[in-house]
Amino acid sequence: MAEPQRIVIIGSGLAGAAAAGALRERGYAGDLVVLGREEHRPYELPALSKQLLLGDVDEPDRVHEPDFYDDHRIELRLGVEVVRLDVGGHAVEDSTGVTHSYDRLILATGSTPRRLPVPGGELPGLRTLRTVEDALALRRELTDGAVVVIVGAGWIGCEVAAAARRHGASVTVVDLVDLPLRRVLGPRMGEVFRDLHAAHGVRWRLGVGVDGFTEHGVRLADGTSLTGDVVVVAVGAAPNTGLARDAGLGLAEGGVAVDAALRTSAPDVFAVGDIAAHDHPRLGRRVRVEHWANAKGQGEHVAGPVLGSDEPYEASPYFFTDQYDLGMEYRGLADAERDELVVRGDVDAREFTAFWLREGRVQAAMNVNQWDDGEALQLLVDARAEVTPEQLR
């Protein structure tokens, strides 16, 4: 594989920016261009639904210092949207008609919040949360006494609920599923989050779907409706795969299919972060992970394969959240409805570690308000350690 002379990265989020930094760190000396739709220097998203929404900070964390890109000869072109990928011609075209040729291309286009396909689902007043502009606009509306309806009891819905309560808003969260976070954490851990929010004054409308949105709120499938000053739609995000799909790249799990070393089906094209449906060597199957650590880890890792190595990306998925006084980390990937749940510690006091076991092996571990065991949990999860429930307890 000849040494590339020109590498182009599409997407200036965490994965794209991490890839650019890692290429220089590995000694790549050729042209390096990052094309990003947003006008901002690359930033990280977790604070948007936490510290920034809470009002503790006004800016998200940046991936690098301001001078980093100039200092490392990284051409950061912001406010530029790529509209076409020509894999045969080794070139991409941006929305102003400019063509950028590449020897290697990294796709890091992230995701877009989903909307619900119901009447009123596209109303402009509905709030979603993905960018710093979204977060600042929402924060202005989360005032004392505001009536807030959140559709979706996943991570972002729960974090927005916690921020809204901090500002003194009245909050109702609606979800078709009967418990928050149930799909990821299963019923018992879902109850922990339901009770946490209820203790902070959140009203739940669980097990009921949304039939439509109006200027005044949300119509529910059981015939009732909820009025709200602010309606937040937090029903997940769709990976931005349009460029890859139109260029004929292989797709999987809703994202862009990549092999263990993050290579797509097209020669010299790689994909990382939220969009990458990765053939994970440790898990033995394809996974697409929409988490901060995955975007950072894959972004950093891909520099190797882009420069010709064959190293697989092997890190276990890792995720964290902060809601009120609950902080947690989750490592690994469980099937929460099927795997055996084992708890060590005090669930009622919200100080515990949950493990998910399959055939006697640890699939995932979640430490809640306990911070001393991270390394040990990582080892157990990485090794898929064989251990009994009694030992874990």
Ligand X SMILES: Cc1cc2nc3c(=O)[nH]c(=O)nc-3n(C[C@H](O)[C@H](O)[C@H](O)COP(=O)(O)OP(=O)(O)OC[C@H]3O[C@@H](n4cnc5c(N)ncnc54)[C@H](O)[C@@H]3O)c2cc1C
Residue by residue, DSSP assigns 126-176 as -B--SSHHHHHHHHHH--TT-EEEEE--SHHHHHHHHHHHHTT-EEEEEES
Tell me the closest approach of the beta carbon of residue 369 to ligand X, in angstroms: 16
Residue among 319, 352, 355, 356 that touches ligand X (CB under 6 A) = 319
CA-to-CA distance for 320 and 328, rounded, in angstroms?
A: 6
Q: What residues between 65 and 84 interact with ligand X by CB under 6 A?
A: 81-82
> In the complex with ligand X, which residue's Cβ is closer, 79 or 312?
79
Residue 95: which residues within 8 A CB-CB, separation 6 or more?
Answer: 80, 81, 82, 83
52 is an interface residue for ligand X by CB under 6 A? no
100 is an interface residue for ligand X by CB under 6 A? no
Span near ligand X by CB under 6 A; candidates 29-37, 172-180, 258-266, 383-391:
29-37
256 is an interface residue for ligand X by CB under 6 A? no
Residue among 8, 9, 14, 354 that touches ligand X (CB under 6 A) = 14
295 is an interface residue for ligand X by CB under 6 A? yes
Residue among 49, 128, 316, 370 that touches ligand X (CB under 6 A) = 49
Residue among 28, 38, 150, 230 that touches ligand X (CB under 6 A) = 38
Size of the site for ligand X (CB under 6 A): 36
37 is an interface residue for ligand X by CB under 6 A? yes
274 is an interface residue for ligand X by CB under 6 A? yes
Residue 82: name the closest of 17, 15, 9 by CA.
9
Compute how many other C-beta atoms are within 10 angstroms of the C-beta atom of residue 189.
26
Residue among 7, 8, 9, 10 that touches ligand X (CB under 6 A) = 10
From the number of C-beta atoms within 10 Å of its C-beta (0-12, 13-18, 19+), residue 39 rates as: exposed
CA-to-CA distance for 268 and 253, rounded, in angstroms?
A: 22
279 is an interface residue for ligand X by CB under 6 A? no
CA-to-CA distance for 174 and 61, rounded, in angstroms?
A: 30
Q: Give exposure, 244-271, as e/b (b: 16+ Cβ within 10 Å).
A: beebebebeeebbbbbbbbbbbbebbbb
Residue among 8, 12, 175, 192 that touches ligand X (CB under 6 A) = 12
Binding site for ligand X (CB under 6 A): 10-16, 35-38, 45-46, 48-49, 81-82, 108-111, 129-130, 156, 240, 243, 273-274, 290-293, 295, 319-321
